[in-house]
Structure 1
Amino acid sequence: MTASINHIVFDIGKVLIHYDPNIPYSRLIPDAAERKWFFDNVCTHDWNVEQDRGRTWADAEALLIETHPTREEHIRAFRKYWHEMVPHAYEDSVAIMEALIAEGRDVTMLTNFASDTFREAQKRFAFLTKPRGVTVSGDVGLIKPDIAIYETHTRSFSLEPAATIFIDDAPANVEGARAAGWNAVLFTGADKLRSDLADYGVRAR
């Protein structure tokens, strides 16, 4: 299918750890319709992505509070209760990553993550310290699927693109990796990941 795979790059959110903003907000905004309105109009996906790009939480909160002053408490709750949004790891996919590392494979991570919440995640989930390294979008000011973040990761870790495989749960990020010359697979679960890696000659326990 391709040249031998020498580098394996994992995404983190929804690949290694669960992420769901609804978890704390189901308590904070119990009405489902109101909660949907809040995420569609106030703490939106696009707003949150800018923290992944490096915007500070203080600036992010101030921006929304200016336009939605009656929602200040709920706006500040996004960072305050972020830890509840990442309640557990995906043990099966973590086991695959750790087995690859134990076998001597070159494993790194590439993630859209705010700088501070990523460090918090590393303290909670020790396996996030085990790969050779990580490119965090909030640290470099770039986000997937911008081809520049894959190129940054390639340079930072001296990867050979054709010998690299990337694992991500978002189709756009998979396509971004392919545009950068990497091989890439869409993560839908541990069993499918094992099968996909095997197709590239990478056997994962």
Structure 2
Amino acid sequence: MPIRAVVFDFGGVLFDWNPDYLYRDLIPDAEERAWFLREVCNPAWNIQQDAGRSLAAATASKIAEFPEYTRLIEAFYGQWPKTLRGTLPEGMALLDELGALGTPLYGLTNWSAETYPYAEAHYPLLQRFRHIVVSGREGIIKPDPAIYQLMYQHISSDLPDIHPGEIAFIDDSAINAHAASKLGWVGIHHHSIHHTRRDLLAGGIALQQEPQHE
């Protein structure tokens, strides 16, 4: 079945987000900074905000655990825009090309409901998507099948006769891409723009062939 709709993850595909961008100034020592982002304000803690926990509750819980790092913990969300450097050129070029082809585009992102409005206000590219499912607003995160099923409901309301196998999902997380595949979608693990383009081409999307080597 040819691909008829493409769903984008945002961080690591279209957006260049990394807490290290903020903490390079706050913790100049690379080893200390790596430890802090691994043991204190780490991905396991951050993902809970993507699942709906409030930033205030998250900050308070982490300060209670590491009171000696109060200032640095408060900075994570207090200065959050500094963690978002901008967009990723290769991902944006793919988005532009798919848009020019008239491909229906959707977004499915693990993102806090409280920080996502910053992206909405500063990145007009989000207006290109027919619908965006934001995990923090729904209280569920990838790879929970429920969030993919919610996305599918929105897609099928636009394209009533679409089959799961006609939907491609691009995510920089192999786990999240595989979860889409288990539901019958074309899950694409975005670890190289060339691989992503190749998979879309194989699915029938009329992208331009790239002469570049890996």
**Secondary structure of the structure 2 residue equivalent to 1:184:** strand
Q: What corresponds to 1:26 in structure 2?
A: 24
Of stretches 139-148 and 181-190 in structure 1, the one that deviates more from structure 2 is 181-190
Please tell me the residue identity of whatever aligns with 2:200. Answer: L
Q: What corresponds to 1:4 in structure 2?
A: 2
Unaligned runs of 5+ in 1: none
Shift of 1:109: 0.7
Q: What corresponds to 1:75 in structure 2?
A: 73
| CA shift digits 1:105-143 (9 cap, x unpaired) | 111010101112222112222111211010000011111
Please tell me the residue identity of whatever aligns with 1:28. Answer: L
Pairing 1:113-132 to 2, within 5 Å after superposition: 113-132=111-130
Does the 8 Å CA contact 1:154/1:160 hold for their aligned counterparts? no
Q: What corresponds to 1:36 in structure 2?
A: 34
Of stretches 189-198 and 55-64 in structure 1, the one that deviates more from structure 2 is 189-198
**Secondary structure of the structure 1 residue equivalent to 2:41:** coil
Does the 8 Å CA contact 2:135/2:141 hold for their aligned counterparts? yes
Q: What corresponds to 2:211 in structure 1?
A: none
Shift of 1:173: 0.5
**Secondary structure of the structure 2 residue equivalent to 1:115:** coil
Of stretches 40-49 and 188-197 in structure 1, the one that deviates more from structure 2 is 188-197
Q: Does 1:108 align with 2:67?
A: no
Q: What corresponds to 1:172 in structure 2?
A: 175
Indicate which of 167, 186, 197 corresponds to 1:194: 197
Unaligned runs of 5+ in 2: 157-161, 209-214
Of stretches 61-70 and 91-100 in structure 1, the one that deviates more from structure 2 is 91-100
Q: TM-score, normalised by structure 1?
A: 0.93
Does the 8 Å CA contact 1:17/1:89 hold for their aligned counterparts? yes
Please tell me the residue identity of whatever aligns with 1:54. Answer: G
Does the 8 Å CA contact 2:8/2:108 hold for their aligned counterparts? yes
| CA shift digits 1:158-200 (9 cap, x unpaired) | 1531111100111101111111221111112333322221111
Pairing 1:41-56 to 2, within 5 Å after superposition: 41-56=39-54
CA distance in 1, matches of 2:37, 2:91: 29
Q: How many aligned residue pairs are there?
A: 203
Does the 8 Å CA contact 2:54/2:114 hold for their aligned counterparts? no
Which 4+ stretches in 1 moved above 4 angstroms?
none
Query: Taking every aligned residue pair, what percent have the same amino acid on both sides?
Result: 35
Shift of 1:6: 1.3
CA distance in 2, matches of 1:77, 1:86: 14
Does the 8 Å CA contact 1:101/1:131 hold for their aligned counterparts? no
**Secondary structure of the structure 2 residue equivalent to 1:77:** helix
Aligned-residue RMSD, C-alpha: 1.4
Please tell me the residue identity of whatever aligns with 1:198. Answer: L
Does the 8 Å CA contact 2:3/2:167 hold for their aligned counterparts? yes
